[in-house]
Amino acid sequence: MQNSIFGVIVLSAVVAPVATAGILVSTNKIIWDMQTAGSGLTTVTETFDGISDGFYANPYTASIGSVGSGMTWTATATGGLFVQSGLFSTNNPADLTFTFSPGIQAVAGNFFATNIDFAAVPALFRVTLSDGTGYEGYAEASSNFTGFYSTSGATITSLTVRVSPLQGQANLYPTVDNLYFGIPTPGVFALLGVAGVLGFGMRRR
């Protein structure tokens, strides 16, 4: 089974964020909302509901928010992307990467794993930002929430989601139900530092 050994090893460890200075990690949306609101950030949400079901080749790009308080996100995955019923996923069991332009100060989402039929299944997951900050945990449902907030003012330019099957599971697909963005007010972008960008062949889903 692909990645099954990795899954057993991680499951035996304590689930915790990978610490990086200046980034707070939260698994509670209320806390993330308070962090972004307290910093005066504009919060916009990508629900993916407006994207038609089906396969999409790399890259998929969309804009969200209004002029001055919006941004553009781009998604890529080896083998392409697949959308179904408002769930954004990969066409093959490969990492799912989002990049943001301009960079943002906070990002969150409902990150989890689905099987080939788009049913949410229990699995290990890891979300990694452009500066190396990450969080790894265990998700059982599409409501699983993970959020990141930059306290240093450094911008977040990408996010990568990886899922690992538990022992005995078939291949799984990293899936996102919603993405939440904390965007600095107009004019603040120029004052923020810019971090680096993180970055199976045939159609299956």
Task: For residue range 119-132, list pLDDT tens digits in order.
Answer: 999 999 999 999 99
130 close to 195: Cβ distance less than 8 angstroms: yes
**What are the pLDDT digits (tens) for 79-113?**
999 999 999 999 999 999 999 999 999 999 999 99
User: What are the residue boundaries of the structural domains of the chain, listed by start?
Assistant: 4-191
Q: Spell out the CATH class of 4-191.
A: mainly beta
In angstroms, the CA 28 to CA 165 distance is 24
pLDDT digits (tens, 9 = 90+) for 32-73: 999 999 988 999 999 999 999 999 999 999 999 876 667 999
Alpha-carbon distance of 163 to 127, in angstroms, equals 9
Tokens of 164: 């690992």
